[in-house]
Amino acid sequence: MTEAERHRLKEKIAADMEILKADVDALRDSIKPIPPDAAIGRLTRMEMIGNKGICESNLRSAQTRLTKLESALKRIDSVDFGICVECEEPIPLKRLMIVPETLRCVHCMET
């Protein structure tokens, strides 16, 4: 990986983290406890609780990805970064630009 590529990847990770942080904040807001007398348009309480469940699981996956991106950012300057942990082949930059937090190449992910 060239320095320019590494730089692009760092920017990509930072940008993804910004988006995720905003998502986490928004999701945290949306899972605040629902007041028992909440009357919100046509949404019934059961629907709200259902939505809340979806938001909670979205929140968890956003937080998990955020943690992985943070650790990718810490690893990015090391010589091992971008090397598949299974086959030890370089992971294509195209893949890293989509999922910078990945530890495996596509081939090893599938097996």
Residue 90's SS3 state is: strand
Residues 84, 100, 102, 103: which binds Zn ion (CB under 5 A)?
84
Q: In sequence order, which residues have a C-beta less than 8 Å from that of residue 83 and are 6 or more positions away?
A: 89, 90, 91
Tokens at residue 84, please? 């598949």
> Is residue 103 near Zn ion by the rule CB under 5 A?
no
Inter-residue contact 72 to 101 (CB < 8 Å): yes
Report the nearest approach of Zn ion to the CB of residue 100 (Å).
Answer: 16
Report the nearest approach of Zn ion to the CB of residue 96 (Å).
Answer: 13
Report the nearest approach of Zn ion to the CB of residue 28 (Å).
Answer: 36
Binding mask 11-40 for Zn ion (x = CB under 5 A): ------------------------------
According to DSSP, the residues that pair with 40 across neighbouring strands are: 43
